[in-house]
Amino acid sequence: MAPAYGGSVPMRRIMKPAAAMEVARYNLEDALSDHSASSELYPTLSRELSREMSRDSRVTDKYAFAFDIDGVLIRGGRPIPEAIEAMKVLNGKNPYGIKIPYIFVTNGGGKTEQERCVQLSKQLELEVSPGQFICGHTPMREMVAQYKTVLVVGGEGEKCRHVAESYGFKDIVTPGDIIKDNPHTTPFRSLTEQELENSKLRNYGKVKIEAILVFADSRDWAGDQQIILDLLTSKGGYLGTRSENFDEGPPLFFAHNDIIWSAQHDHTRLGMGALRLSLEAMYHGITGKKLEATSFGKPQIGTFEFATRLLQQWRKENSGIDAPPETVYFVGDTPESDIRGSNLFNEHSANEWYSILVRTGVYDEGTTPKFTPKATCDNVLQAVLHAIEREKNKDTLKWRDEVSSQQEALRSTHSVDWAAKGSMIST
Ligand code: G3P
Ligand code: MG
């Protein structure tokens, strides 16, 4: 049976266009009707077929999407209108009836992935699972093994403490805890009743803080920076101490490095990357030294490697697809993080990462993005349709190539026959 399918082309590839897939499926079913005999004959084929039979064949295994959130799907907490439509297209509402797997990769954070997915499900009017979601601090959960006592900075109220608890960090300190212990830490800022109630009283002079984790945008730039600088210039992470050489403090980690992001305001707002710039300036001002710190999030390769693993797992669990997609379409609004990251990862990755920039967020129409996207679209819906068309064109081209190569093969076999026949006739 196999040669009929052009042997060299892996079976699954032939199955793409729905019609051809059905034909191939029937032929294979025929071929394999006597399952026991044929499964010995074609072990991989029958395994492939039973898996194909078991999975929803409308789900394409050839490409997938990774979506940024702020400025692409959501703006200032509200869904961007085309985003809801785009989700419907991905779930089969398109001319080809195909479903396309997708994940979400945001630098935002400040609440648990579970809580963020519940919120996103409401905003996008469809279920979003933590199994398809990464936020800026998600990869930081892997530092639980390294650090016991950590200072967690940013976000609303106690939310970041809950995120750290959900990751398994054993001993979590917040700026509020430190101010409660020593109100003179922030001369112009005292805790609200609620903050006092939430904060944990301890003698922090006796607590060794092993790492500083900035999980989300700071709600108190002055207080948070004062406390971070107190620790960076401390002796070994003990508050109230001062290092002579200023390099005995705990390491500093940021969930991302976005200097600006697109919120409800017409113009971009300052982000966590701006807090880092401010800290770098003050640290240098105080110590004369350059501040060393590590950022997660996009454009870091680590985040795209994490996204690749998550996408692989999601497609496997959700659609029974094992092999990596040929192409991942990354749709973002920030050239410095989304486009730069997916272009960089495209150079490293075995499969193609195709960056699409949309005009609904940070990117300002008429300006030249610092990092060049593969395509620029008005909004996420146009981006999804652009990718689907591109894949269809790729398919058509591939079919054309296959048909012409098969025609070529046929022509050459027949010309050999005719030639042989010709020579036979001549004698
Ligand atoms: O604070 C988050 C913001 O900087 C960007 O979020 O979803 O565009 O990566 P996002
Ligand atoms: Mg964005």
Q: What is the per-residue pLDDT across 338-374, written as a single tens digit (0 to 9) for each?
A: 999 999 999 999 999 999 999 999 988 889 999 999 9
DSSP conformational letter for 51: H
CB 253 within 8 A of CB 210: no
The pLDDT score that the predictor gives to residue 305 is 96
Q: In Å, what is the CA distance from 92 to each residue of 65, 244, 381?
A: 14, 63, 14
Residue 188, pLDDT > 50, answer: yes
108 lines ligand 1 (CB under 6 A): yes
Statement: the pTM of the whole predicted model exceeds 0.75: yes
Q: How far is the C-alpha of 393 from the C-alpha of 410, rounded, in Å?
A: 25
Which ligand 1 atom sits closest to the C-alpha of 333? 8
- Give 304-348 pLDDT, tens digit per residue: 999 999 999 999 999 999 999 999 999 999 999 999 999 999 999
Residue ranges in 320-379 assigned as alpha helix (H): 340-348
Domains and CATH numbers, the chain: 56-136+300-392 (3.40.50.1000), 138-295 (3.40.50.1000)
**Residue of 78, 80, 256, 264 with the most ligand 1 atoms within 8 Å of its CB, for mutation:** 256
Q: What is the pLDDT of residue 164?
A: 98
Give pLDDT, residue 408.
84
Is the pLDDT score of 73 beyond 50? yes
Q: Is the pLDDT of residue 225 over 80?
A: yes
Relative to the CA of 256, which ligand 1 atom is closest? 4
**Ligand 1 geometric centre to CA of 3 (Å):** 51
Cα of 108 vs centre of ligand 1, distance in Å, is 4
Alpha helices in 55-130 (DSSP H): 81-90, 113-124
What integer pLDDT is reported at residue 416 of this predicted model?
59
pLDDT band per the 50, 70, 90 thresholds, residue 24: very low
Does the CB atom of residue 314 touch ligand 1 within 6 A? no
Is-contact 199 174, C-beta < 8 A?
yes
Mean pLDDT of 366-387: 96
109 CB near ligand 1 (under 6 Å): no
pLDDT at 42: 52
Site of tokens 């098969």: 406
CA dist 353 and 386 (Å) reads 15
Mean pLDDT of the 243-260 span: 97
Is pLDDT of 31 > 60? no
3-state secondary structure of 264: coil
Nearest CA-CA partner of 154 in 306, 250, 273: 273
- Which has more confidence, 393 or 52? 393
Mean pLDDT (the chain, rounded): 88
Q: What is the pLDDT of residue 398?
A: 76
Query: What is the structure's pLDDT at 37?
Result: 53
Q: In sequence order, which residues have a C-beta less than 8 Å from that of residue 230 and are 6 or more positions away?
A: 185, 239
| Residues 128-159 pLDDT 10s | 999 999 999 999 999 999 999 999 999 999 99
Q: What is the pLDDT of residue 250?
A: 98
Contact 260, 271 (CB under 8 A): yes
CA 320, chain centre distance (Å): 20
pLDDT of residue 417: 58
**Phi, psi dihedrals of residue 266, rounded to the nearest 5°:** -60, -30
Is the model's pLDDT at 397 over the cut of 80?
no
Confidence band, pLDDT 50/70/90 cuts, at residue 26: very low
Average pLDDT over residues 396-414: 81
Please answer whether residues 346 and 80 qualify as being in contact, where contact means their C-beta atoms are separated by less than 8 angstroms. no
Measure 216 CA to ligand 1 centroid, in angstroms: 10
pLDDT value of position 404: 85
Q: Is the pLDDT of residue 192 over 70?
A: yes
Better pLDDT: 16 or 130: 130
CA–centroid distance, 358 to ligand 2, in Å, is: 9
**CA of residue 69 to ligand 2 center, whole Å:** 5
Task: Note whether 107 and 66 are within 8 A (CB).
Answer: no
Q: What is the mean pLDDT of residues 3-22?
A: 43
Regarding the beta carbon of 391 and ligand 1, being less than 6 Å apart is answered no
Report, as an integer, the average pLDDT of 266-290: 97
What local confidence, expressed as pLDDT, does residue 387 receive?
97
pLDDT at 18 (0 to 100): 47
Instruction: Say yes or no to pLDDT of 174 above 80.
Output: yes
